[in-house]
């Protein structure tokens, strides 16, 4: 049902379809951990050339590892530190073409070369971030940003506080 072959060669159209699939997949499910788990699995299936995809949740004034797909990861990330902490602090999406050139980068997986982090804001407050890593430098584009922000917008409808 969620095979990559269902997606168009048009990235924007693929992200639109992905957002619709996410909405349908999460419809009626009230457990947020289950919803985040399925969201990370769906993204992992859709996105090519990535090596980690998941969520860090804002708890106790830091980011705490949430549901993800990939190798084991850092558990605690201070707000304002690394790519995730910086995006969380600014509540702005952050694309880093070369993580090794990012001041204070936190290397959970040495294979990661680029990263995109999309903040998740619920009721005007930081809920967490969507973090995606790639083993390729410059993997993420403005089109990815737009599509992933759309994905997070749909996801927030299914986060039950």
The whole-number average pLDDT for the span 47-72 is 97
pLDDT tier at 160, thresholds 50, 70, 90? confident
Higher pLDDT, 121 or 7: 121
Residue spans of the domains in the chain: they are 4-156
pTM across the whole model: 0.93
How far is Cα 161 from Cα 84, in angstroms, rounded to an integer? 22
pLDDT at 38 over 80: yes
- Cα–Cα distance for residue pair 82/76, rounded to 1 Å: 11
Using the predicted structure, report yes or no on whether residue 4 has a pLDDT greater than 90.
no
* CATH 3.30.450.40 is the classification of domain 4-156: yes
pLDDT at 6 over 90: no
Q: Strand, coil or helix: what is 99?
A: helix
Give CA–CA dist 110/124, Å, rounded: 34
pLDDT surpassing 70 at residue 5: no
Q: Considering the chain, what percentage of its residues have pLDDT values greater than 70?
A: 94
Q: What is the mean pLDDT of residues 129-146?
A: 97
- 20 Cβ partners below 8 Å, 6+ apart? none
Strands 62-70 and 76-78: antiparallel
Q: Where are the alpha helices (DSSP H) in the chain?
A: 11-26, 32-46, 82-90, 142-156
* Bridge partners, 133 (sequence order): 52, 115
Two structure tokens written together for 157: 């409808």
- Whether residue 122 is predicted with pLDDT greater than 90 in this model: the reply is yes
Q: Which residues pair with 65 in a beta bridge?
A: 56
């Amino acid at each position: 049902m969620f095979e990559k072959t269902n997606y168009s060669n048009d990235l924007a159209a693929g992200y639109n379809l992905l957002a619709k699939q996410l909405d349908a997949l999460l419809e009626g499910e009230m457990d947020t951990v289950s919803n985040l788990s399925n969201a990370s699995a769906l993204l992992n299936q859709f996105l090519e050339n990535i090596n980690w995809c998941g969520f860090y949740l804002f708890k106790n004034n830091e980011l705490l590892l949430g549901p993800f797909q990939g190798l084991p990861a850092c558990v605690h990330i201070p707000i304002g530190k690394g790519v995730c902490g910086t995006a969380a602090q600014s509540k702005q999406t952050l694309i880093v073409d070369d993580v090794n050139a990012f001041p204070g980068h936190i290397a959970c997986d040495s294979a990661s070369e680029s990263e995109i982090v999309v903040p998740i804001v619920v009721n005007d407050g930081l809920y967490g971030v969507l973090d995606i890593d790639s083993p390729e430098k410059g993997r993420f584009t403005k089109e990815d940003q737009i599509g992933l922000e759309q994905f997070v917008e749909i996801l927030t409808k299914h986060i039950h506080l």
